[in-house]
Structure 1
């Protein structure tokens, strides 16, 4: 007799009579020393003993499966029944169910108890009726349907993230496979400049906030000394946008000449990838928080899934805009330090063992941008 849970042994071929002690299979192995097709004396004896046990179990009816509870999924019950009668062997199966089992208590207990009271059946008398079997099957179908709807609902939430993930991965793949990102870089720069101009200088000239316009642009790129004078001569928003886009492109061309064409292309790729990866990780956290909180909107008679899709779309659009803004802000600040200057600066740096050095290093974290202006993290640049 083997006592097991309803989850154990469902994938095992239980052999009537047990296994031959010296082998992992009921079929005796060939003795290679005696030649092909011949059995050793020990194997023949073991085979004979196993056959007697096998015949005895078969004469008793084979393997009997006794289930003491019905599982929520019929598939589990069917697999448990399937242990009997394997490979043509005889066998039987029988389930015993209590009205106090979770499956019966939640879905079918009231109906069956009502039937017992109607028929005036004693509580200690076992019930064997097709109505009971149908009630159990009906309860299992309800649970399976509920579980299916739950998985389907979770999948619908996951589909929202999958679409966003595909978009981000496609953009990263384009960056990795591209050899020249100048056009994409200028597109991001001009898009950010246009957004700033339309925010601070929309409508009539009297409504322009040139002070904040200059501050916003100055935080991104260096502005010429005659910027205020040039902006003062412009009368329309369209002309202002065109002027600022040309100014941003000219400043970028100057930056490219200072750094070099090939180096600038490499910097563009690194900054695009780094900005995208960092912003994407933060976005994943925001989407997780949104998924946890959006369920409460069901109390306001709103579909949480629809709200999650709408809010997730807004967050994703904000992510793309934030990537563009962060990249534009970083690309103009990139500077290259000559190797000899970097080596001399590292050599002149105080020893980390001294108290003064430890207090000074606290101002720059290892993951902070390097003060040298290379655009790299401190630990990957001067902090090596």
Structure 2
């Protein structure tokens, strides 16, 4: 084996030497090193060159001296220590992300497998109630409860100032849970007649059913097993809705958090110029990002679940988006949901159909919810009703 240079890692040199004698055959290995090689150029090449000049060695002459071998060994050892430090540092950075990954994947597995999903949602509602009361003044509490839980504040400003926060949070939580229970029961009640009809008439043809559910901003097509929905009286639809929304929100928030962590890892390297440890700053900032991600997941999940409903108004040009659809069903096989409207209106009258379609278009064109603490009187109400704030929740203010 003839080597043209010595490598940065001694392990590579040993592997090459091992090729000299395989299967019991005798062999030998020789490595030729130049002072212009990368390894020698970075470590003590000038000092060795001056010693060789003093000893009278000529250029190109083969030198076999222990001093040269020892110098190369020390250079390789320094490179290996540096590479080990790099890998160790990289692992310390990855440990921070791995701890967050463990928490997020555990929460996602609970949602995916259906484990503890109801308990997770209850914990989210309690967390939103407690957070709105503890971290805001009365006006901020009103706005946060309206935007996140779609409910009015169940206590006065005087009670907010005088009573204990825990008592107010428990009162708000009980009312929020009642609202959420009514919302899910109503959702199942609207979907059940159509699911029952489809299963009894065409259950042998289809395995899954798509349920369109909207929160006033976006339409979600929820896939649900037709037989399970029929046997549970559409309670399986509610469970599928909760599962799909939780998975969707977690995935989007986790992808955004990974991108922010990657940007943070590159930006904290400048802290070394301030004589600070970049890893320590990375750990502190990553905790802040993780808390913001969890807060975002809780807010978005509860906001969608508290506003989710099956659309029952049918626009003329969007009838496919306003029906409960069986997967791959023909147009004549799809069931019209307009007869199951919440107020049981009869839309056979052309004037009422025009009013329903007009109301639907107005909801679709409304402005996004403003993030400020105050809402203008003529602005759309944050509850998603499509009405002006002065005609909805701002009527009594």
Give me the TM-score of the superposition, normalised by structure 1. 0.66
Return the match for 1:236 from 156, 163, 187.
163
DSSP 3-state at the match of 2:5: coil
Q: Which has the higher contact order (CA 8 A, sep 6+)?
A: 2
Structure exhibiting the larger radius of gyration computed from Cα positions: 1
In the other structure, the counterpart of 1:98 is 34
Q: Which moved more, 1:112-121 or 1:293-302?
A: 112-121
DSSP 3-state at the match of 2:29: strand
Distance in 1 (CA, whole Å) between partners of 2:244 and 2:265 is 32
User: Residues 342 and 77 of structure 1: is their aligned pair in 2 closer, same or farther, counting only changes over 3 Å?
Assistant: farther
Return the match for 1:331 from 297, 305, 309.
305
Distance in 2 (CA, whole Å) between partners of 1:198 and 1:150 is 44
User: Residues 347 and 317 of structure 1: is their aligned pair in 2 closer, same or farther, counting only changes over 3 Å?
Assistant: closer
Structure 2 unmatched runs, 5+? 189-234, 323-360, 366-383, 385-397
DSSP 3-state at the match of 1:279: helix
Return the match for 2:118 from 182, 189, 193.
182
Distance in 2 (CA, whole Å) between partners of 1:195 and 1:309 is 24
In the other structure, the counterpart of 1:220 is 148
In the other structure, the counterpart of 2:19 is 83
Q: CA RMSD in A?
A: 2.7
Task: Give, in angstroms, the shift of residue 265 of structure 1.
Answer: 2.1
**How many residues were matched structurally?**
278
In the other structure, the counterpart of 1:346 is 319
| Deviation readout 1:34-91 (Å, 9 max, x if unpaired) | xxxxxxxxxxxxxxxxxxxxxxxxxxxxxxx222211111222222222222222232
- 1:194 paired to 2:130: yes
In the other structure, the counterpart of 2:86 is 150
Aligned residues of 2:129 and 2:173 also touching (Cα < 8 A): yes
| Deviation readout 1:262-288 (Å, 9 max, x if unpaired) | 322221111111111110000000000
Distance in 2 (CA, whole Å) between partners of 1:177 and 1:144 is 46
| Deviation readout 1:166-215 (Å, 9 max, x if unpaired) | 111111112223356333212211211211111224xxxxxxxx333222
Task: Give, in angstroms, the shift of residue 232 of structure 1.
Answer: 5.0
Distance in 2 (CA, whole Å) between partners of 1:270 and 1:301 is 47
Structure 1 unmatched runs, 5+? 1-64, 202-209, 350-359, 365-372, 374-384
Return the match for 1:171 from 99, 107, 125.
107
Give me the TM-score of the superposition, normalised by structure 2. 0.64
Task: Give, in angstroms, the shift of residue 328 of structure 1.
Answer: 1.3
Distance in 1 (CA, whole Å) between partners of 2:72 and 2:315 is 77
Distance in 1 (CA, whole Å) between partners of 2:107 and 2:128 is 18
1:1-384 to 2 correspondences below 5 Å: 65-178=1-114, 181-201=117-137, 210-223=138-151, 230=156, 235-238=162-165, 239-260=167-188, 261-337=235-311, 341=314, 345-346=318-319
Distance in 1 (CA, whole Å) between partners of 2:173 and 2:94 is 40
